[in-house]
A and B are shown apart, each in its own frame.
Chain A
Amino acid sequence: MAVRRRDFLTAIGAALFSLAPDAWAAVADGGPARLIVILLRGAVDGLNVVIPYAEETYYTERRSIAIAPPGKPNGALTLDEHFGLHPALADLMPLWTGRQLAFVHAAGSPDPTRSHFDAQIYLENGTPGQSSTRDGWMNRLLLALPGPRGATDAISIGPTLPRILSGKAAVATLSVGPSGALSLPIDRAEIVSAFDRLYAGDDELSSSYREGRAAREQLVAALAKEQRAADNGAPPPTGFPGQAARLAQLIRRQPAIRLVVIGLGGWDTHVNQGAHTGQLAGHLRSLGQGLAALARGSGEAWHDTTVVVVSEFGRTVRENGNGGTDHGHGNVIWVAGGAVNGGRVYADWPGLAPARLYQRRDLAVTTDFRSVLAAILARHLRLNDRQLEAVLPAAPPASPELAQIISS
Chain B
Amino acid sequence: MPTRFAGFVAAICLLIGLPAMLATGAELVPDRRIIHALNRLAFGPTLEDFRHVKTVGIERYIAEQLDPDAIPEPAELRARLASLDTLRLNPVQLRQIYGPLRSLRGFKPSPELERAQRERVQVILRDASEARVLRAVLSPRQLYEVMVDFWFNHFNIFSGKGLDDVWIGNYEERAIRPYALSRFRDLLFATTKHPAMLVYLDNTLSTAPGSRGARGNQKGLNENFARELMELHTLGVDGGYTQEDVITLARILTGWGVNPPDARVYPEYAAVFEGARHDYSAKVFLGRQLQSRGKAEGEEALEILARSPATAHHISFELAQYFVEDEPPSSLIDKLTERFLQTDGDIREVLKALFASPEFWNSYSRKYKTPYQFLISAVRAAGVTVTNVRPLLTAMDQFGMPLYGCLTPDGYRNTEDAWLSPDATARRIGFATALGKGALPITPMAQPVDAIRLEAIFAETISDNTRDAIAGSPQGLRAAMMLGSPDFMRR
Contacts and interface: CB of A to CB of B under 8 A. Distances in A.
Task: Name the residue among B398, B429, B465, B474 with the largest chain A CB count within 10 angstroms.
Answer: B429
Nearest to A155: B423
A213 B473 contact: no
Interface residues of A, number: 46
A116 B165 CA distance: 14
B484 A198 contact: yes
Given A194-B469, A200-B465, A271-B114, A205 B486 contact: yes
Contacts of B409: 131
B74 interface: no
Contact of B481 (A172, A184, A198, A216): A198
A198 B397 contact: no
Contacts of A185: 429-430, 433-434, 480
Nearest to A201: B465
Nearest to A206: B486
A170 to B, nearest CB: 5
Nearest to A272: B111
Nearest to A125: B408
Given A198-B469, A213-B426, A117 B158 contact: yes
Given A132-B410, A190-B477, A161 B423 contact: yes
B164 to A, nearest CB: 11
A121 B410 CA distance: 13
B417 A172 contact: no
Interface in A250-272: 271-272
Contacts of B480: 185, 191, 194
A228 interface: no
Contacts of B423: 161, 170-173, 212, 215
Contact of A160 (B397, B466, B481): B397
B429 A186 contact: yes
Contact of B108 (A190, A208, A216, A321): A321
Given A131-B409, A132-B410, A195-B484, A205 B489 contact: yes
Contacts of A166: 400
Interface of B is mostly: helix
Interface in B432-491: 433-434, 465-466, 468-470, 472-474, 477, 480-481, 484-486, 489
Contacts of A216: 426
B408 A121 contact: yes
Interface in A137-186: 151, 159-161, 166, 168, 170-173, 184-186
B331 interface: no
A11 B466 CA distance: 60
Contacts of B243: none
Interface in A201-235: 201, 203-206, 208-213, 215-216
A115 B410 contact: no
Contacts of A190: 474, 477
A216 B424 CA distance: 12
B430 A205 contact: no
A185 B437 CA distance: 11
B161 interface: yes
Contact of A115 (B161, B426, B474): B161
Contact of A184 (B111, B422, B430): B430
A272 B111 CA distance: 8
Contacts of A321: 108
Contacts of B276: none
A272 B112 CA distance: 11
B407 interface: yes
B158 A197 contact: no
Given A205-B425, A271-B114, A191 B408 contact: no
A322 interface: yes
A209 B468 CA distance: 19
A121 B407 contact: yes
B162 to A, nearest CB: 9
Contact of B422 (A117, A121, A170): A170
Contact of A194 (B397, B400, B402, B477): B477
Task: Name the residue among B108, B407, B472 with the largest chain A CB count within 10 angstroms.
Answer: B407
B421 interface: yes
A392 B409 CA distance: 23
A199 interface: yes
B348 interface: no
B427 interface: yes
B420 interface: yes
Interface string B233-272: 0000000000000000000000000000000000000000
Contact of B427 (A184, A194, A198, A200): A184
B160 interface: yes
Contacts of B398: 159-160
Task: Name the residue among A132, A166, A194, A271 with the largest chain B CB count within 10 angstroms.
Answer: A194
Contacts of A186: 426, 429-430, 433
Contacts of A213: 422, 426
B226 to A, nearest CB: 15
Contacts of B477: 190-191, 194
A186 to B, nearest CB: 5
Contacts of B114: 271
Nearest to B402: A160
Interface in A316-357: 321-322
B233 to A, nearest CB: 14
A209 B484 CA distance: 11
B422 A198 contact: no
Interface string B95-116: 0000000000000100100110
Contacts of A203: 486
Contacts of A121: 407-408
A197 B473 CA distance: 10
Task: Name the residue among B161, B423, B427 with the largest chain A CB count within 10 angstroms.
Answer: B423
6 smallest CB-CB distances across A and B, nearest first, come from A212-B422, A211-B422, A185-B433, A197-B469, A212-B426, A184-B430
Given A195-B429, A195-B484, 15 more contacts: A132-B408, A161-B423, A172-B422, A172-B423, A184-B426, A185-B480, A191-B429, A194-B469, A194-B473, A195-B481, A197-B473, A198-B484, A209-B426, A212-B426, A322-B111
19 contacts: A160-B402, A166-B400, A170-B423, A171-B423, A185-B429, A185-B430, A186-B429, A190-B474, A197-B469, A198-B484, A200-B465, A200-B469, A203-B486, A206-B486, A210-B422, A212-B422, A213-B422, A271-B114, A322-B111
